[in-house]
Amino acid sequence: MSELALDALHHETRRFPPPEDLAREANATAETYAAAETDRLGFWEEQARALSWEAPWSQVLDWQRPFSKWFVGGRLNACVNAVDRHVENGAGEKVAFHWIGDGERERRDVTYADLQREVCKAANALTSLNVKAGDRVTIYMPMIPETVVTMLACARIGAPHNVVFCGFSSDSLRGRILDSDSRVVVTTDGQFRRGAPTPVKPAVDEALEACPDVRSVLVVRRTGDEVAWNDARDVWWHDVVDSASDQHEAAAFDAEHPLFMMYTSGTTAKPKGILHTTGGYLTHVSATHRLVFDLKPDRDIYWCAADIGWITGHSYIVYGPLINQATSLMYEGTPHPNDKARWWKLIQDHKVTILYTAPTTIRTLMKWGAEELEPYDLSSLRLLGSVGEPINPEAWMWYRDTVGGGRTPVVDTWWQTETGGIMITPLPGVTATKPGAAMTPFPGVSADVVDNDGKSVPDGGGGFLVLTEPWPGMLRGIWGDDERYKQTYWSRFEGVYFAGDGAKRDEDGDLWLLGRVDDVMNVSGHRISTTEVEHALVSHPSVAEAAVVGATDATTGQAIVAFVTPRGSVAEDESSGDEFVQSLRDHVAKQIGPIAKPRQVLVTPELPKTRSGKIMRRLLRDIAEHRELGDVTTLLDPTVTDAIRERMAGGSEKEE
């Protein structure tokens, strides 16, 4: 965030108290904060009691810093909590998901009883493929009900799932299959993107060329397009799942049994497998879902517009809402310029009451204009949530006033793949919100803002966000790498969790999140590492060196800008053309996935370096954001930046 924007935060005086009718019936009240304040662990125990346990825990927390165990000795089954118990309680006919396809007319309503039947079949099918408790299963699937069914079936048999976002390349997928040592992969023939079928399975086939241990690929027929088939390995979902028994006895697992892993980008080129376990995670996501979104299962239609391939989808499309017996809208598509009113129509037609989405989407819809939503009745909306990146006050106000008609509280929720669930957020019936602020830690969560030496900053100060006490949904580690877990999160400041985000505490003590302080970029709410993109670029045969920075972007929050030095063997006229730049962008998309495609690639004979040979990214960021350059005295060759600037001025920016 720029200095200017930071300064503006100082002067934000607007306050939005909770609407009275919401406050009167809110799931969370001032008492909720008070209860957690008095007895933090007791508060979490109370939340855990909302789940069904087969055996109770004997200890709430076992904290061997930085390793935590929650609800020690407790036993439960995640899928039983998300599905079976609702059916047993007579809610079998309640819709769990109104699923809406990307195309015009496709829709399916999936009830809790439907889910139970499908999940039991899938659990039996996975068992017949020899998947056992503890075995990892990689899931590479689009936003269709079978993806949820597969996750729940894995959870039911105690096989940790490893969902890989379907937009990742075969290379990225391969890395995640290998690191998790998955022996079974579940996928689809293809998917629909913006109404058109696009292939999915070929990426799996390509990835598996170097994954000799994968013995089965279970394939859902989605588009019906022709796919290559390996008889020794591939099985159709409709052959093995549809014919499987819909009866399946679920066993209970230890509270600390691994539920899933999710790979996320860090500051190195290798993504980290963030590990989540069962009892604590489910407690955290269901409590936050119930209290932050004020969920009333009998009245609300809840829509979390994330993709299941990210943590938001895991926690707030699948586990949180299902545990709370919510009825959700699940939409396969994303906002599209050819159908600008689709979102508003979905909200109107399904009478959506709670919407949870990312600032980048809000800004896109805002750019398309209020006139797109005016013809639609959005009066069903009563609560709006934001997640994934800092939300600028203009987008926050537009969300509240134009989308929410000025009635709806906006909850800006800060959290991470690592935290499992929401950590810093307003509570809609209690907090008087400020446009752009995540406000306060959720009850039972302890956060602080510290300076470079780890000292808590006073009100009005800025620094690094840290979490000072363990919480139930916290990651239990990085898959197969305890040392990296300690290094990444627990070594920057003694004894506290380092989130990697900058934050400010205002004069009232409320928190504002300011974006990453490390080499992680946030593009449209997607976490991408600069190092990962740099590695992808230098793996191109014509590239000698690359430096990547995240530049502020009005729509996507940040955009990837790459500075590239070609190899000496590459002719000047070859490297200066658009074609070369395009080939580099495509190369990154191929290596990582289209989400990592740089907005801009600048080819330059040299990168600005210090005398000791370090690339000065700070200067590149200044250049990418068209700012005056900071201190250049340590540069080995100060003329380099002028040359880059000139090229920058002549270059064009690409949007996909």
Q: In the complex, what is the shortest distance from the CB of residue 340 to ligand PRX, in angstroms, rounded to a whole number? A: 25
Q: In the complex, what is the shortest distance from the CB of residue 4 to ligand PRX, in angstroms, rounded to a whole number? A: 18
Q: In the complex, what is the shortest distance from the CB of residue 425 to ligand PRX, in angstroms, rounded to a whole number? A: 8
Q: In the complex, what is the shortest distance from the CB of residue 161 to ligand PRX, in angstroms, rounded to a whole number? A: 17
Q: In the complex, what is the shortest distance from the CB of residue 90 to ligand PRX, in angstroms, rounded to a whole number? A: 34
In this complex, which beta carbon is closest to ligand PRX, that of residue 208 or of residue 387?
Answer: 387
Q: In the complex, what is the shortest distance from the CB of residue 499 to ligand PRX, in angstroms, rounded to a whole number? A: 6
In this complex, which beta carbon is closest to ligand PRX, that of residue 441 or of residue 500?
Answer: 500
Dist. CA 148–CA 607, nearest whole Å: 46
Dist. CA 238–CA 93, nearest whole Å: 24
Q: In the complex, what is the shortest distance from the CB of residue 598 to ligand PRX, in angstroms, rounded to a whole number? A: 19
Q: Which of 138, 260, 227 is nearest to 187 (CA)?
A: 138
Q: In the complex, what is the shortest distance from the CB of residue 133 to ligand PRX, in angstroms, rounded to a whole number? A: 27
Q: Are 350 and 300 in contact (CB under 8 A)?
A: no
Dist. CA 88–CA 84, nearest whole Å: 6
In this complex, which beta carbon is closest to ligand PRX, that of residue 200 or of residue 438?
Answer: 438
In this complex, which beta carbon is closest to ligand PRX, that of residue 99 or of residue 310?
Answer: 310
In this complex, which beta carbon is closest to ligand PRX, that of residue 124 or of residue 386?
Answer: 386
In this complex, which beta carbon is closest to ligand PRX, that of residue 527 or of residue 617?
Answer: 527
Dist. CA 540–CA 601, nearest whole Å: 13
287 residue type, one letter: A
In this complex, which beta carbon is closest to ligand PRX, that of residue 169 or of residue 312?
Answer: 312
In this complex, which beta carbon is closest to ligand PRX, that of residue 363 or of residue 516?
Answer: 516
Q: Are 91 and 323 in contact (CB under 8 A)?
A: no
In this complex, which beta carbon is closest to ligand PRX, that of residue 78 or of residue 438?
Answer: 438
Q: In the complex, what is the shortest distance from the CB of residue 434 to ligand PRX, in angstroms, rounded to a whole number? A: 13
The residues binding ligand PRX (CB under 6 A) are 264, 311-312, 387-390, 412-417, 438, 499-501, 513, 515-516, 522, 527
Dist. CA 362–CA 393, nearest whole Å: 12
Q: In the complex, what is the shortest distance from the CB of residue 438 to ligand PRX, in angstroms, rounded to a whole number? A: 5
DSSP string over 472-524:
TTS--EETT-HHHHHHHHHTTTTTSEEEEEEEEE-TTS-EEEEEESSSEEEET
Dist. CA 636–CA 613, nearest whole Å: 8
In this complex, which beta carbon is closest to ligand PRX, that of residue 125 or of residue 387?
Answer: 387
Q: Which residues contact 4 (CB under 8 A, 6 or more apart)?
A: none
Under DSSP, is residue 5 helix (H, G, I), strand (E, B) or coil? helix
Q: Are 14 and 437 in contact (CB under 8 A)?
A: no
Catalogue the E-assigned strands of 167-257. Answer: 184-188, 190-193, 196-199, 216-220, 234-236, 253-254
In this complex, which beta carbon is closest to ligand PRX, that of residue 169 or of residue 288?
Answer: 288
Q: In the complex, what is the shortest distance from the CB of residue 322 to ligand PRX, in angstroms, rounded to a whole number? A: 18
User: Using the 8-state DSSP alphabet, how is residue 247 labeled?
Assistant: -
User: Using the 8-state DSSP alphabet, how is residue 586 labeled?
Assistant: H
DSSP string over 540-572:
STTEEEEEEEEEEETTTEEEEEEEEEE-TTS-H
What's phi and psi for 295, nearest 5 deg?
A: -65, 125
Please name the helix (run of DSSP H) or strand (run of DSSP E) that holds residue 630, with its range, or none.
none
